[in-house]
Amino acid sequence: MPRNATQSAIGAHLLAERIIDWYDVNARDLPWRGVDVDPWAVMVSEFMLQQTPVNRVLPVFEAWMVKWPAPADLAAESVGEAVRMWGKLGYPRRALRLHAAAGAIVADHGGVVPRDVDDLKALPGVGDYTAAAIASFAYGQRIAVVDTNVRRVVHRAVLGAAEAGQSTTKADFALTDSLLPSTPQRAARMSIGLMELGALLCTATNPVCERCPLRTDCAWVAAGRPAYDGKPKRVQKFAGTDRQVRGLLMDVLRDNERAVTKADLDVVWQDADQRERALDGLLRDGLAVIDENGLFALPD
């Protein structure tokens, strides 16, 4: 039976100490981390890392920051170029939102990524998680940053559950917040440490418990590592989906500096109905435009 927070075998202070000490030694050297990293770099990384692994993000992030090292640089560029640079990261609407957010930062915040959480959440594409991540990782604020990795570590170590379920709840934020040190900078350090621990050791499958800094007091380990007994997890298919077709159409648009014909797009997928549905979706989402000559291109 999962424990509640007050029944945890490991106290919040000890948990924080162990995670921070582990992170200080084992943290990956990533270009969006460090005391001197610009908040804009943190913000760009958070947009790119949504549902996308680090190894795919790294080359795109590095090229992006060379081209647009500040919000004003991106805001001055066409949205189509932002979509082009997004490449094959997937979910390209993130590029549209990041471009719009850069414009709002220039218009409303003097070109500087705001530190206030409410100001961050007012930016296009910035929800509760992303705002918290920027406030914590860029500005060292004490705020719970709760993603899938953090939820998994907390639910295992504190509550003894194999997994945390499919959606973040207010209880997840409250529990994670209760574990953070009172000092803002140490709280921020613990937040990134929790995330790193979930990414590297306390993984969804094949967790490396023998190397985990929490192993001796982890409630899940103490309970015998019980299997997940919640609702079956949804497995997202890609092959054959509209999302795959959208990606193929986007490849054509990105790879051509000039507008392309309908025939250029038609060759990417045999099923005409699915292809048309995917193309209509791109036009509706603002990821593609059609001119007066019936040619297709990325947005201006």
Residues 191 and 276 in one domain: no
In the chain, the amino acid numbered 85 is M
Residue 206 and residue 208: Cα distance in Å, rounded? 6
Give me the amino acid identity at 69: P
pLDDT of residue 99: 98
Where among 195, 218, 235 does a domain terminate? 235
The pLDDT score that the predictor gives to residue 3 is 43
User: What are the pLDDT digits (tens) for 158-197?
Assistant: 999 998 877 778 899 999 999 999 999 999 999 999 999 9
Tell me, yes or no, whether 101 and 184 share the same domain: yes
- How far is 209 from 8, CA to CA, in rounded Å? 17
Q: Write the CA distances from 122 to 87, 104, 130, 195, integer angstroms.
A: 26, 9, 11, 25
Predicted confidence (pLDDT) at residue 4 exceeds the cutoff of 60: no
The answer on 97 and 178 residing in a single domain is yes
Of 235, 260, 289, the residue at which a domain comes to its end is: 235
Residues 83, 61 share a domain: yes
Domain boundary among 214, 235, 256: 235
Please name every residue paired with 290 in a beta bridge, in sequence order, or none if there are none: 296
At 238, the pLDDT band (50, 70, 90 cuts) reads confident
Q: Can you tell me whether residue 40 is helix, strand or coil?
A: helix
What is the span of the domain harbouring residue 19?
1-235
As given in the structure block, the two tokens for residue 215 are 């192993």
> pLDDT tier at 10 (50, 70, 90 boundaries)?
low
CATH number at residue 91: 1.10.340.30
Q: In 3D, which of 199, 197, 201, 202 has the Cα closest to residue 220?
A: 202
Q: Which amino acid, 2?
A: P
Identify the weakest region by mean pLDDT among 86-95, 217-226, 228-237: 228-237
Give pLDDT, residue 104. Answer: 98
- Kindly give the residue spans of alpha helices, DSSP state H, lying in 180-241: 184-200, 219-222
Instruction: Check 17, 46, 62, 77 and give the catalytic one.
Output: 46
Is pLDDT at 265 greater than 60 in this prediction?
A: yes
Per-residue model confidence (pLDDT) at position 132: 97
The mean pLDDT of 74-90, rounded to a whole number, is 96
Is 198:153 a contact under the CB 8 Å cutoff?
Answer: yes
Question: In total, how many domains does the chain have?
Answer: 2
Active site residue 46: yes
253 and 208 within one domain: no
